[in-house]
Amino acid sequence: MKVFTGAIRVKSNAKTEEVNITNQIEAVILESSILEGMALVFTGHTTASIHLNNADKDLEEDFHNFLKELIPNKPSYKHNKGDYGRNADAHLKSLFAGNSVTVPITKGRLALGQWQAIYFSEFDGPRSRLISIKVFGKAEKAER
């Protein structure tokens, strides 16, 4: 089994934003030369998320509007009163949406559903974020 470690950088342009990172993840898989296996995509940022969703611009906006209603940024949150800033809602949205996905790799490509894409969700931007990718499985050629 081969293990390959890669990373991509995502630069958000707004306070909240969805960024489809599927093509960048596919590029890392291609670089890995792994044909059959799994790709783990992870963000170590506590005010951002990685998730799967339908690749639809309207749904991206719906997702953030839903989260804004579900998790408003209340002044009463203790985190907002402390020394760490005023972004408690961003942390809670990240907890809700998750920080990683694991996707099968088949014939060197992500084995996503017909409409699925891998998204990076920004909840406290604009920022530059590092996304880690761990690809593991059977390589193109046998390892010695």
Nearest partner of 105 among 19, 20, 3, judged by Cα: 3
pLDDT above 90 covers a percentage of the chain that reads 92
Amino acid letter, residue 71: I
Full set of structural domains in the chain with CATH: 2-139 (2.60.120.460)
In the chain, alpha helices (H): 22-32, 57-70, 78-81, 88-97
pLDDT, residue 141, reads 66
Nearest partner of 12 among 42, 49, 40, judged by Cα: 49
pLDDT digits (tens, 9 = 90+) for 96-131: 999 999 999 999 999 999 999 999 999 999 999 999
Residue 143 above 60 pLDDT?
A: no
pLDDT, residue 24, reads 98
Identify the band that residue 142 occupies on the pLDDT scale cut at 50, 70 and 90.
Answer: low
pLDDT digits (tens, 9 = 90+) for 17-26: 999 999 999 9
- Summarize the confidence of residues 72-76 as an average pLDDT: 93
SS3 45: coil
**How far is 100 from 11, CA to CA, in rounded Å?**
18
